[in-house]
């Protein structure tokens, strides 16, 4: 279907607010990204929000923990923000994490993993896995039920969620009940039909995505499974997945290919393409109407995955 007119407005606003991704060094790109955030004026109140650090593989990892109620035992979603492994932080993910905590009725742990190029692969994914282990082993302080933990994220955050699911399988835990993958990065080759059809003019560009990969991987093998999960030899034994893609997104085809590979490995998966939408739409509730629909879909999938006491109806 045609590009949503509201998405065109977003694209034009972003184009006018700073240099294109890949044309300036990482610090300048981070500064520009601040001006491009579509901030929700009145973020949802949450019962309790705690900023703290947890142990990481190289240094302490900042996290923000959202509790929707005082319940003693709640499922948990470990959330990884997007930004091409180079941009993004806890504030960028805050509106989404608040809404998911309230709508799902779960604790949300938002992870401020180390960014590239200062910390290249595997720094971010090892931080992400460390956060999942911490939630399973020490999350009881925040009411987390270690048997009901899911992972999720958007774009590079979706990449980390998929990679952490592989790591948890390969490293014998923690057991995960679901992975919510929002237009995830799963392949490094940048040669799909959607990469060429949507190479320019739809917020995320093919050249910008190449720059993100260069910052994250440098001269390492870009096709490693924990960097490009589509290239894992097997996806068998992974948790059920919800995969969201956008029609006008370079990442569309690789997200859908990953979903198909999950399905072929007998992993339960729901894949939904949001027509007329662009990369980044999931976080634009209040600006793009389908964002609210997609968020509700993910929340419903998480509620179903968690089940049992403590899950919102």
> What pLDDT, in 10s, does the model give residues 136-164?
999 999 999 999 999 999 999 999 999 99
Tell if the pTM clears 0.75, that is, is over it.
yes
Active site residue 249: yes
Question: Ramachandran region of residue 207, left (φ > 0), alpha (ψ -120 to 50) or beta?
Answer: alpha
Average pLDDT, the chain: 95
Catalytic residue (choose from 81, 178, 188, 279): 279
Whether omega for the bond prior to residue 174 falls within 30 degrees of 0, making it cis, is yes
User: Residue 16: what pLDDT?
Assistant: 86
Per-residue pLDDT reduced to its tens digit, 43-59: 899 999 999 999 999 99
- What is the per-residue pLDDT for 159? 98
- Summarize pLDDT for 65-118 with one digit per residue, the tens: 999 999 999 999 999 999 999 999 999 999 999 999 999 999 999 999 999 999
Residue 310 pLDDT greater than 70, yes or no: no
Domain range annotation of the chain: 5-306
Calculate the CA dihedral of residues 254, 256, 262, 263 and round it to 10 degrees: -150
In this structure, what token pair is assigned to residue 122?
């595997």
Catalytic site includes residue 266: no
Which one from 4, 145, 187, 249 is the annotated catalytic residue? 249
* Length of the chain (residues): 313
Count of Cβ atoms closer than 10 Å to residue 137 Cβ: 12
Dihedral sign, Cα of residue 259, residue 224, residue 161, residue 81: negative
Q: Specify whether domain 5-306 bears CATH 3.40.50.1400.
A: no
Q: Which of 155, 165, 178, 188 is catalytic?
A: 155
Active site residue 89: no
């Amino acid at each position: 279907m045609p590009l949503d007119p509201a998405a065109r407005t977003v694209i034009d606003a972003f184009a006018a607010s700073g240099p294109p991704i890949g044309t300036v060094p990482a610090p300048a790109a981070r500064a520009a990204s601040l001006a491009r955030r579509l901030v929700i004026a009145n973020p949802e109140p949450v019962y309790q929000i705690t900023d703290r650090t947890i142990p990481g593989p190289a240094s302490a990892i900042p996290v923000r923990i959202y509790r929707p109620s005082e319940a003693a035992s709640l499922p948990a979603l470990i959330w990884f923000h997007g930004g091409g492994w180079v941009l993004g932080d806890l504030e960028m993910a805050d509106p989404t994490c608040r809404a998911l905590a309230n709508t799902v009725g779960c604790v949300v742990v938002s992870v401020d993993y180390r960014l590239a190029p200062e910390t290249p692969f595997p720094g971010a994914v090892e931080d992400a896995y460390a956060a999942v282990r911490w939630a399973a082993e020490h999350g009881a302080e925040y009411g987390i039920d270690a048997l009901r933990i899911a992972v999720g994220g958007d774009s590079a955050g979706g990449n980390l969620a998929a990679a952490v699911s592989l790591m948890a399988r390969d490293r014998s835990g923690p057991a995960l009940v679901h992975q919510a993958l929002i237009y995830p990065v799963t392949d490094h080759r940048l040669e799909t039909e959607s990469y060429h059809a949507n190479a320019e003019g739809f917020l995320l560009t093919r050249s910008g995505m190449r720059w993100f990969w260069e910052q994250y991987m440098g001269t390492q093998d870009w096709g490693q499974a924990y960097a490009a999960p589509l290239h894992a030899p097997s996806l068998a034994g992974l948790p059920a997945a919800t995969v969201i893609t956008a029609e006008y997104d370079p990442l569309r085809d690789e997200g859908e290919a990953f979903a198909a590979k999950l399905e072929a490995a007998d992993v339960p998966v729901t894949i939904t393409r949001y027509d007329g939408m662009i990369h980044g739409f999931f976080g634009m509730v209040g600006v793009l109407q389908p964002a609210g629909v997609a968020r509700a879909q993910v929340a419903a999938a998480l509620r179903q995955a968690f089940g049992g006491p403590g899950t919102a109806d």
